[in-house]
């Protein structure tokens, strides 16, 4: 997977979970399309919810100057997932900035 300065090896193909379609360029296969968002949600017997998610690039897929343009690519290449924060205090603690659209 190539995103700006990141160049990572991936497994997969066009007809599997985590599908990756690609085109060859300069002796490498560059991804052009594929599965992009995964989320696993688990409910415990006591009713607690936990979740993990992953996007192969990051939350900013079009702005190559954004720090989130490829911040999940290495996690994706390692076939790992990141925790989804469900608690408001944890979300606030891990936020880079907070704003209201339109303000």
36 lies in some domain: yes
What are residue 22's phi and psi, to 5 degrees?
A: -145, 165
pLDDT of residue 17: 64
pTM of the full structure: 0.67
pLDDT of residue 13: 65
The percent of residues in the chain predicted with pLDDT above 90, rounded, is 34
Residue 61 to residue 40: CA distance in whole angstroms: 21
Q: What is the mean pLDDT of residues 60-86?
A: 88
| Number of folded domains that form the chain | 1
Going by C-beta distance under 8 Å and a sequence separation of 6 or more, which residues neighbour residue 82? 52, 53, 54, 72, 75
55 lies in some domain: yes
Give the confidence band of 92 by pLDDT, cuts at 50, 70, 90: very high
Which residue range(s) make up the domain with 61? Answer: 2-85
Residue 79 to residue 18: CA distance in whole angstroms: 10
What would the two tokens of residue 82 be? 């990141």
74 lies in some domain: yes
Please identify which residue in the block is written with the tokens 């052009």: 32
Please identify which residue in the block is written with the tokens 């390692």: 78
> Are the C-beta atoms of 102 and 36 separated by less than 8 Å?
no
What are residue 93's phi and psi, to 5 degrees?
A: -65, -35
């Amino acid at each position: 997977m190539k995103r700006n300065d990141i160049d990572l090896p991936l497994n997969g193909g066009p007809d599997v979970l985590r599908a990756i379609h690609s085109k060859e360029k300069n002796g490498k296969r560059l991804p052009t399309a594929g599965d992009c968002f995964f989320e696993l949600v688990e409910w415990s017997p006591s009713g607690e919810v936990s979740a993990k998610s992953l996007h192969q690039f990051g939350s900013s897929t079009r702005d190559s100057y954004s720090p989130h343009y490829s911040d999940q690519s290495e996690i994706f290449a390692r076939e790992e997932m990141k925790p989804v924060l469900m608690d408001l205090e944890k979300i606030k603690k891990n936020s880079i900035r907070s704003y209201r659209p339109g303000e």
